[in-house]
């Protein structure tokens, strides 16, 4: 019988003839990374994204700031090529931050890209936030200031104790967010902003050159974005005209009417075109839209038109009654609302008609008993 130790030796000998010994040992399984597990976070702002990949060391009762774990200033770490290395802002490989589009960090421009992330921590409560074009190194052992894309100075903040190093996003708005690194009792915040409108419009132009531009919906949605944000009107009109040429309907005609109005031009005829194309719900919506704009005569025109088109729908009479009540014409309001209630309306319409009548002092007990 051959002893097991002999078998193991023979196996290694055979393997070493096929592969160098160090390559044999390198074939290892994937195991959990400890004690600093990998993590990633991301945040969408507009249609842009900030992503951060990092490792999460723990405090574990240790002193953090001003120690080898998170040193102050820029030092020679005794390994690698860096002679003045900042803190690695994490553990293991570079902490990496990715901007999907051009952005501003603390008001300074940074191009879209992937960056190694470092921090120069100072004892006076300030810190240098560093974005390096080298994002593939290990820690900050090979950091070089010559590879900085951007460096900004921020003030640190005191926070409740945080055991694991954590990146997060706070103070999120339509076009910005503050990125924070929290560890132990210290926070490093920096504000990131995107020019959301420019990015959305550039993306729209690009998408409209693809299959999105083969139909009317893409042009209408692009024009509607401009309408909702009161921007880029001339190009928006070009887009909405392409949508109308492709498929004239209520949606694109109504968007064009509003764009023209927003530009300070005459839009009544366009609104009337939209009304001709509108269904019951769309025409009702137009009535409320006009009422909201203070164009009460136009609102009344559309509400009445809807009752003529849809004489068996209690909701259109409820809406007409609501219009009259808002205008202070209680006589016509009561008449329209009672007509709505006489048509066995759905529960939500009935409840609204009863509420409006009560507000005008009308006895509605007969309608409530029939509920």
Q: Look at strands 103-105 and 108-110 and give their pairing.
A: antiparallel
Q: Determine phi and psi for 189, rounding to 5 degrees.
A: -100, 145
Domain architecture of the chain: domains with CATH: 1-31 (no CATH), 38-194 (no CATH), 197-369 (1.25.40.10)
What's this model's pTM, rounded to 2 decimal places?
0.84
Give strand pairing partners of 161.
Answer: none
Higher confidence at residue 178 or residue 369? Answer: 178
- Give me the pLDDT at residue 9, please: 40
233, with CB counted inside 10 A (0-12, 13-18, 19+), is middle
Q: At what angle do helices 280-292 and 296-309 cross, to 10 degrees?
A: 160
Q: CA nearest 209: which of 196, 198, 218, 217? A: 218
Mean pLDDT, range 270-293, rounded to an integer: 98
- Give me the pLDDT at residue 224, please: 98
Lowest-confidence pick of 12-26, 111-125, 149-163, 338-352: 12-26
Q: pLDDT by residue (tens digit) across 333-346? A: 999 999 999 999 99
Q: pLDDT by residue (tens digit) across 177-220? A: 999 999 999 999 999 999 999 999 999 999 999 999 999 999 99
User: Across the chain, what does the average pLDDT equal?
Assistant: 92
Structure tokens at 71: 């040193």
In degrees, rounded to 5, the angle at the alpha carbon of residue 204 between the alpha carbons of residues 202 and 207 is: 115
Confidence of residue 80 (pLDDT cuts 50, 70, 90): very high
| pLDDT at residue 25 is higher than 70 | no
- Give me the pLDDT at residue 63, please: 97
Give strand pairing partners of 54.
Answer: 39
Q: By three-state DSSP, how is residue 158 classified?
A: strand
Q: Cα–Cα distance between 83 and 11 in angstroms, integer?
A: 46
- Give me the pLDDT at residue 4, please: 44
Mean pLDDT, range 73-101, rounded to an integer: 95
Q: pLDDT by residue (tens digit) across 225-275? A: 999 999 999 999 999 999 999 999 999 999 999 999 999 999 999 999 999
- Give me the pLDDT at residue 26, please: 59
Structure tokens at 283: 């025409």
Q: Cα–Cα distance between 140 and 78 in angstroms, integer?
A: 11
Q: Cα–Cα distance between 261 and 96 in angstroms, integer?
A: 47
Mean pLDDT, range 359-371, rounded to an integer: 87
Q: Cα–Cα distance between 19 and 304 in angstroms, integer?
A: 88
Higher confidence at residue 10 or residue 353? Answer: 353
Mean pLDDT, range 289-307, rounded to an integer: 97
Q: Determine phi and psi for 153, rounding to 5 degrees.
A: -105, 135
Residues in Cβ contact with 210 at an 8 Å cutoff, skipping those fewer than 6 apart: none
């Amino acid at each position: 019988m051959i002893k097991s130790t002999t078998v193991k030796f023979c196996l290694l000998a055979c393997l070493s003839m096929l592969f160098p010994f160090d390559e044999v040992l390198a074939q290892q399984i994937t195991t959990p990374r400890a004690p600093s597990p990998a993590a990633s976070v991301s945040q969408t702002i507009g249609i842009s994204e900030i992503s951060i990949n990092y490792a999460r060391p723990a405090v574990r009762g240790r002193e953090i700031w001003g120690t080898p774990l998170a040193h102050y200033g820029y030092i020679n770490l005794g390994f690698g090529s860096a002679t003045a290395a900042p803190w690695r802002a994490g553990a293991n490989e570079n902490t990496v931050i990715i901007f999907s589009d051009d952005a501003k960090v603390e008001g300074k421009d940074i191009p879209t890209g992937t960056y190694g992330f470092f921090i120069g921590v100072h004892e006076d409560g300030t810190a240098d936030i560093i974005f390096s074009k080298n994002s593939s190194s290990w820690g900050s052992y090979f950091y070089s200031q010559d590879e900085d894309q951007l460096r900004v100075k921020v003030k640190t903040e005191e926070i409740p104790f945080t055991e694991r190093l954590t990146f997060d996003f706070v103070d999120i708005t339509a076009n910005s967010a503050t990125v924070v690194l929290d560890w132990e009792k210290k926070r490093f915040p920096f504000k990131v902003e995107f020019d959301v409108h420019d990015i959305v419009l550039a993306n729209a132009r690009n998408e409209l050159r693809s299959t999105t531009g083969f139909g009317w919906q893409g042009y209408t949605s692009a024009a509607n974005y401009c309408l909702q944000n009161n921007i880029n009107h001339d190009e928006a009109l070009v887009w909405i005209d392409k949508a109308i040429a492709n498929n004239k309907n209520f949606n694109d005609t109504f968007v064009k009417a509003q764009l023209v109005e927003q530009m300070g031009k005459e839009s009544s005829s366009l609104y009337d075109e939209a009304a001709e194309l509108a269904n019951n719900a769309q025409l009702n919506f137009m009535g409320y839209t006009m009422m909201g704009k203070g164009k009460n005569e136009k609102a009344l025109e559309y509400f009445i038109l809807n009752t003529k088109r849809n004489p068996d729908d209690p909701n259109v009479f409820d809406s007409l009654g609501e219009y009259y009540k808002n205008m202070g014409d209680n006589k016509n309001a009561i008449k329209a609302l009672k007509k709505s209630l006489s048509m066995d309306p759905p529960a939500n319409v009935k409840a609204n008609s009863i509420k409006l009548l009560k507000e005008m002092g009308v006895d509605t007990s007969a309608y409530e008993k029939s509920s």
